[in-house]
Amino acid sequence: MGNKHSCLYEAEEKTVFISRKKEVYRIPALFYNRDKQILMAFSEKRRNTEDASAEALVMKTGMINKDETTHEVTIQWSELKPVKEAHRDGYRPMNPCPVYEKISKTLFLFFICVEGTTSEQWQISSGCNKAHLCYVTTNDAGQNWSDVTDLTDLTDLTDSTDWATFAVGPGHGLQTESGRLIVPVYAYASDCCSPSSCSCFCKPCNSFTPHALSLYSDDEGNTWQFGKMLKNKSLECEMAEYFADTDKSFIYCNARCEEGHREEAVSTNKGEDFSKLSVNEKLPETCKGCQGSVVSFPAQSECVNAEGAPSQSPNKWLLFIHPSNKGKRSDLGVYLNKSPGDPNAWSKPWIINCGPSGYSDLAYIDDGWFACLMECGKVCETEQIAYKVFNYNEVKQGIGE
């Protein structure tokens, strides 16, 4: 029947970031470095649970240990390290979003910097953007970081001048097989004004609607530009590349929505624009909404060829993680889709954390294994950020296949 439970908060060793009084960790992001075979976990450090109290971005690295006898995977995490370079004086860093460029072996850590304690709601109601689009880079798995780069005022990104505010991710970006870097973004765009009617980012109206879109680079991260927004209302999002039998690349977008179900869209031109997939209720949204995470991974062989070896497929499947409870942020579920172009192909959820569950991020760590970070706790989801490692066979068993 599926929906088997695994209550992570009962296992203390699964904690990555633990919240305390005046020290709260929220908004997880996860990256798997295949070159070094380590995980890199990122989070916001806040004074409390409120967005306006964010102070810094922090990280840990995780050494992956595979037991060849038991086939179990564990992770040994490093001490917490602030990413001090992810900073602008007078601004708070938010929404970590890592994306890796495999040719130069450079990890870009994207984030936004928001002025002072200005809230997102104030920016939306006033039409005054106080967010900056920034990144830092590392070539040594976070031991050293570059100075911050602020992309906000670049001429290639002038679309952002017509936004009340925007944010990246949160969660991970991706690099396509062809080399394009893609960072997921959502922005509150004006419903009734044009840039010519505005000055200093401030709009004379207060009607703004959020839309997901991509930020992409085709030159290893030297220059960036925005794609076109999804037509439907959509917020925090993640994207993944998949292939069908034609070997054609598609970019799938899964976004937070307020319509009772997730917003799904697909791009046939590497994320430059997206077409909405048909409405379905296989991926419900939670109450007022919650961020979720999606990854693609090689189609897993479930049969053997004439020689008795697993048959190979160029296709990719999707794995999605999100609170499965429609009424509140609870019961974190893993969903599988073996036909990514079909929104009705999503499985029932395998509940990997029963109880309070919030934001999360997934990473595929090869050989059918996955890792995820998740906000969770006994009373509320902001008590800690924990991790779980699981494999495809566990997913199949959990969803009842």
Judge whether 325 lies within some domain: yes
For every residue of 329-358, DSSP letters joined together read SEEEEEEEESSTT-GGGPPPPEEEEEEEEE
In a domain, 156, yes or no: yes
Residue 373 covered by a domain:
yes
Is position 281 annotated as part of the catalytic site? Answer: no
In a domain, 30, yes or no: no
Catalytic residue among 162, 238, 375, 383: 375
Please write the tens of the pLDDT for every residue from 209-223.
999 999 999 999 999
**186 is an active site residue:** no
**pLDDT (tens digit, 9 = 90+) per residue, 118-131?**
999 999 998 999 99
Q: For residues 187 and 233, is the Cβ–Cβ distance under 8 A?
A: no
Report the C-alpha gap between 115 and 113 in whole angstroms: 7
Model confidence at 65, in pLDDT bands (50, 70, 90)?
A: confident
Per-residue confidence (pLDDT) for residue 13, from 0 to 100 = 54
What is the average per-residue pLDDT within 165-182? 97
Angle at 277 between CA 275 and CA 278, to 5 degrees: 135
pLDDT at 197: 39
pLDDT digit string (tens) for 328-355? Answer: 999 999 999 999 989 999 999 999 999 9
Q: Residue 103: inside a domain, yes or no?
A: yes
CB atoms within 10 A of CB 117: 12
Out of 9, 32, 44, 51, which one is annotated catalytic? 51
Range of the domain at 120: 87-192+205-299+315-399
User: Within the chain, what is the greatest distance between any pair of CA atoms?
Assistant: 70
Could you say which of 335, 359, 364, 392 is catalytic?
359
Residue 237 lies in a domain: yes
Q: Is residue 198 part of a domain?
A: no
Q: Which of 45-49, 189-193, 219-223 has the lowest mean pLDDT?
A: 189-193
Question: Would the pTM count as exceeding 0.85?
Answer: yes
Phi, psi of 172 (to 5 degrees): -100, 155
CATH number, domain with residue 157: 2.120.10.10
Compute CA 385 distance to the chain's CA centroid, rounded to the nearest angstrom: 15
Active site residue 156: no
Number of domains in the chain: 1
Q: Is residue 39 part of a domain?
A: no
Q: Which of 25-39, 66-80, 93-107, 356-370 has the lowest mean pLDDT?
A: 66-80
